[in-house]
Chains A and B, each alone.
Chain A
Amino acid sequence: MINSLKQLIGRIGSKGAKHPRLEDLPPPVVPGEQSLTDCRLIVLDLETTGLNQSKDEVIAIGAVAIQDNAVDLSDQFDLVLRRPELDISETVLIHGIGPEALTRGHETEDALLHLLEWMNGDPVLAYHSAFDQSFLERTLRRKLAYTKSHTWFDVADLMPAFFPDSKPSGHGLDDWADHFGLEVSARHHAAADALATAELTLVAINQAQKKGISTLKALSERLKYYRRLRDVHRH
């Protein structure tokens, strides 16, 4: 009774009705003793219409999966969302997705459902993940009334945490990619950026494992420790 009431409130609170396929989704993974090698990690990048979280929208999602310390290219996600009503002139130059490509995109709800199913509740990594996380979670909440939080790791923290002596020329994805000599096939293309981020993740995990960090929990704690140390230095 209480549950169905909650559902009702949930439905009223969000615009759309909650999709039955959402019920079948596994719950998001919580960092524990899962081995870094065995578990599947999602590396994701979003293209948006702009940087304003309250007003801008997601227009493309690119993601790859890491398992067994390798990016498996048969397991990837490369999608342009259908958002014809949006005025995208502002960011179109950055990512090269024009109105035509947008209208060809998948129906948003379908695409997001597909994404959630593909993600399978696995931990997500992104470069400057706070940005991607808030955009994605807001979109999922508004379109699908999906409110669960995945475990997110920020690759922008992962890199300096494991390579404290490296001094890339800045803090951006490009800077670390340059530092390791990576070639990004199409910069500001969600999928290409996701792959570059995944390559950095492979480099970081390789280093983490050499330092004896072998579980999700250990990785998560190492990152917390890094951020605390950084904040101490800042203040």
Chain B
Amino acid sequence: MAASSPATSRDNPRPQNTRAIMAFLREHAPFTSMDENHLAHFAEHASLRFYADGDVVLSPDEGPVTRFHIVKQGRIVGERGSLKDGETETTFEISVGECFPLAALIGERPTHTLHRAAGDTFCLSIENDAFITLLSESEAFRDFCIRGVSSLLDQVNQNIQSNAMVSMGGGSSLDTPLERYAIRNPIVCSPDLPVRKAVARMHENSVGSIVITNDTRHPKGIFTLRDLRTLVAEERAPLDTPIGQVMTPDPCCLTAEADAFEAAMKMAEFHFSHVCVVDDDGRLIGMVSERDLFALQRVDLVNLARTIGTANHLRTLVSLRTDVSRLVDAMLAHGADSGQVVKIITTLNDVTVRRVLELNLMKNDPGVPFTWLTFGSEGRQEQTLLTDQDNGILFVTPDGMSEDQAREKLLPFAETVTKELAECGFTLCKGNIMASNPKLCLSGDEWDEWFLRFIDASTPQNLVYSSIFLDMRAVFGDRAPLDKLLDKVLTRIRKNDLFQKMLAGNAVQRKPPLTMFRNFRYAPDGDRKSLDLKRQGLAPFVEAARVFALANGVAQANTLERMDQLAKKGVFDPKDANAWKEAYSLIQAIRMRSHQELLNRNEPLSNYINPDDLNPLDRRILRESFRQAQRLQQKLEVTYQL
């Protein structure tokens, strides 16, 4: 007889109080969508506890959390001691029907925040064993807890960051909007003001820079003390020259909503020391200097990028690579998220690639205008310290020259560049996907034809290459030829359902490393008990995001940006997109931490890890992240009816 048949349940009814608790649970997520049996399991294992107003419910001093709680009546507030004068601030509120503390429980650690009752409060709770049973048996409960954890993890992350800030003497993080740092009402002048007077104005206000604006307050240029030094030392112009003639034109501008991280990246990329903050109409409202950012984040990002970008010898570039690794170390230690770190690595790699190209152009210009392309992870701006070169050249055939003639001039140049990049630590590509390969040093028309064949042929080899060539970006040279090419390629793919379906089929080939029983499935080619975080963990996200992006005309190559765009276009549910972004970032973070550890031990970098070496929190996070990868692949299977 089935336990759920009406006859049985009338003969053997659940106790009144069990039924009452089930009815209470049923009104709140995630219990609304849970099975009757799972609710009963909760109710039968629950304890009911009372906390008077102000009583401590959970405290960081109590050791690892062992119970899962839900507020039955009343309210709980999270309290954190602030840095000064022992005052506390409320960080969150948990009200009737809400569950806590997810992250600490799943992480088997103490809570970071003091939980205190606000008003007379009753909580139902179950012990860890009952919680684990529910977690493993109820899909709805599991989903809820993991999503809860991922948003909580954000908070934890922010905690780590703010802790780092405390030790660094700053007050906020790189995520903070720029307007918080911007100097309001920066010193400005018009372009016709003589340099002498402009410098006097800077001196009066004791600032190191002045913004040159037009009548409508749009920034036209910037002049800094460093410019003055060069002007005087090199005797470029007399001091009564209008400042408009000696300023650095077209200053870098960001809006006030941009965050400090973006500003730091811009400075690092273009070697500016100042960024203008403008309103939506482009009018100047403030100014942020490199020093302002340094004050909050003592990371030599901008300085390092500038040193790389102005290095005069390959030797110097090679030696600077150690600094890049040290910087990544520091950023990870300070709790920067993996998305920021990979972007920093990519930016510094870009700067290095550009400098190698510039140095070679100075020595030996092939005389053919070209755009330097990068593919794969570099194209997606997802590089870690372990990186292959995947590059190519898109050239413009000069008048009176055939494509082959242009190629002949470029290939020796490309050969030297790739060799020098290898010296800088960018491993030569085993598959010869490099600009020195005549098949990848092509004109715009040739590339177009190349992609036409690539898409129409859809051979298995092409599908393997899709992860490389369909994620591309210009690092050096004119962007316009690439934009034109990309436009054609995207349109072609959008129209080609068969190609999309084949890409999708290829993307679900690599399954996340979980068994049916939610244990880890180890990599077939690695050591026993090892997981390949790149191929088994990240690749499912990267590949699925690519298929959806290409099919929906998303031009970005970066996986996180692709997911953002797909959520914006309504292809992904925003909650799902967030869960996937988070899962992807968490795997990436674990991978990078492992790289740093290998580096510190002077061992060769590898993407394999043994999950037993991870702490229990990371192990669970990893497992759940892989599960999110499964969900994303399921979406692909449903969409393309695979």
Contacts and interface: CB of A to CB of B under 8 A. Distances in A.
Interface of A: 62, 64, 69-74, 76, 78, 104, 180-183, 185-186, 189-192, 194-195, 198-199, 202-203, 206-207, 210
Sort A-B residue pairs by CB-CB distance and give the 10 closest, nearest first: A185-B20, A202-B50, A78-B15, A71-B48, A191-B16, A70-B47, A70-B49, A73-B46, A195-B17, A206-B52
Contact of B73 (A73, A183, A191): A183
Nearest to B125: A70
B20 A206 contact: no
A185 B16 contact: yes
Contacts of B45: 73-74
A45 B45 CA distance: 22
A73 B120 contact: no
Contacts of B46: 73
A203 B17 contact: no
Contacts of A69: 49-50
B47 A72 contact: yes
Interface string B24-51: 0000000000000000000111111111
Contact of B55 (A78, A191, A206): A206
B15 A191 contact: yes
10 contacts: A69-B49, A69-B50, A70-B47, A73-B18, A73-B46, A73-B47, A185-B19, A186-B16, A203-B120, A206-B51
A62 B16 contact: yes
A78 B16 contact: yes
B181 interface: no
B122 interface: yes
A165 B19 CA distance: 35
Interface string B51-83: 110010000000000000000010000000000
Interface residues of B, number: 23
A182 B73 contact: yes
Contacts of A190: 16
B21 interface: yes
B23 interface: yes
Given A199-B122, A206-B55, A192 B50 contact: no
Contacts of A104: 11
B16 A199 contact: no
Interface of A is mostly: mixed
Contacts of A202: 48-50, 122
Contacts of A76: 15, 17-18
Contacts of A72: 47
A226 to B, nearest CB: 20
A194 B16 CA distance: 11
A207 B53 CA distance: 11
A104 to B, nearest CB: 8
Nearest to B15: A78
A37 to B, nearest CB: 12
A186 B20 contact: yes
Nearest to B122: A199
Contacts of B73: 181-183
Contact of B48 (A70, A181, A192, A206): A70
Nearest to B74: A181
A169 B631 CA distance: 56
Contact of A64 (B17, B43, B44): B17
Given A70-B47, A73-B43, 18 more contacts: A62-B17, A72-B47, A73-B44, A76-B15, A78-B15, A78-B17, A181-B73, A181-B120, A182-B73, A183-B73, A186-B20, A191-B15, A191-B17, A198-B48, A202-B50, A203-B50, A203-B52, A206-B52
Contacts of B47: 70-73
A74 B43 CA distance: 8
A190 B17 CA distance: 10
A203 B48 CA distance: 12
B553 to A, nearest CB: 54
Given A69-B49, A70-B48, A192 B16 contact: yes
Nearest to A185: B20
Contacts of A185: 16-17, 19-20, 23
A192 B20 contact: yes
A73 B48 contact: yes
Nearest to A67: B47
Interface string B122-156: 10000000000000000000000000000000000
B52 A195 contact: no
Contacts of B51: 206
